[in-house]
Structure 1
């Protein structure tokens, strides 16, 4: 017996205009109520309409559950990296499985009678020497990911989700430079410091400025060359620029103090910290010198005492 909760908003009511789900149920002659749907029907597996779109699963993965129960995990991968499609199960000793790829579900790998083999089909040739199949779990590993590897992967005969691999270009290293404040606005002062964070050949990335761990500003962009500016009067702390996909990022820290002048208060604190460090070093050095001198003096006195006893 299959019992599924179906929201009223999905079904409508028998006397009002039916929603798409309610109409579909009516066409299939399936009885329903506003609170619960119970029907013994093995041809299809119904899912709760209100839960069709699942929240992110973490690590860049998300799940989309269709009306008829097909669950697809989204798997973002950087070009050139490796990825493993985990089945999270153990295969039975006599169990056969097949991995299928693409809209036409081409066979790319299989385990038959405990033997692992890979297809020689034209589509599968693109995976040559880049597939690994775990004969105990059935998990599939793809190495040196290419753009052509993007698509849906399905494990036939097992109750596991499909995997939709998306391939992303590798993130470039952000470059921090200084721009003229006059390029920003005519009202900007000549003493204003304008920092530019630039990246090239990116698509669907987020470019952000941080001060320490605090986000200052952020933009979502695509393009051949993009820049995100940060306007400062002076440097007061540590700054960094981050370019990111939803699942990974690259960071460049501002290490060149010549790009912007340091704020007076920060400069005083920097000098004070340097002075304190030097003073600490001096105290430690004097302490070590005093200990060594005292040890040497004690050693010389000991030698004199031994000489006196010998005489």
Structure 2
């Protein structure tokens, strides 16, 4: 089969597409014929050796896939060959086939396109965990989303609205803000041309926001933190801007604010049943039309670097996927 191969931790432009051995279905595992694989910023960090973990070399990147089951290992129940599924694989997803533990896979509705399914796991599972378990977002609260035009940002806008929050979307430029508006945002802030802290205070009548969802980092984290009101919760989701901000801790003391880390992958590993409930809720919300992954581009495996370029150059509105 063909697969994207990372041979050394280096700029992603050095990735190659090669013929490798087909995976086999070991005990407790299934093999999926991949139809689509979601592309995420952590994939870039992994291949460049900048992620929290470093897999043994060489490896195949790609952490979320959708496709059909083609082989089933010993002891696996609940799946049949031909089933349409989605799976969180962490690695090995940028390939024509992938083997994964059956517990990491879930059936998808017949009406769900494979590209939307592949765009669901990382962004939406991260976000539902962030808003439910970490922020404990309540109906009527105000949710501020940084990087609101990207994959996790549009997911946060949609889920925030599904939970009855007022969503203030923050992004750069009209295109990204239009994507956030399409995802359900109530208010828009272009933080490249507007004073983020001042606008948050203005839009909340001086009260401040309840929750900030920050998957961006960089220079806008601190003003967003300053825009939180009493008991506000600041969610540290990621650092797509590249810079990890150094937050003055007196901002947590003032207004009794909380800084809460969000590491969905580690949490899901420790609490698989709770994660399973979250995934079931996501499919239910999808069926009701309350969430819908926004796929802005699709590339073949051979164009993986173009997909990564889209992410790095901020061209992605929603998600980009690879197709096998």
TM range (shorter): under 0.3
Higher RCO, Cα 8 Å, sep 6+:
2
More helix by share: 2
**Bigger Rg over Cα:** 1
Q: TM-score, normalised by structure 2?
A: 0.21
Larger strand share, 1 or 2: 1
TM-score normalised over the length of structure 1: 0.22
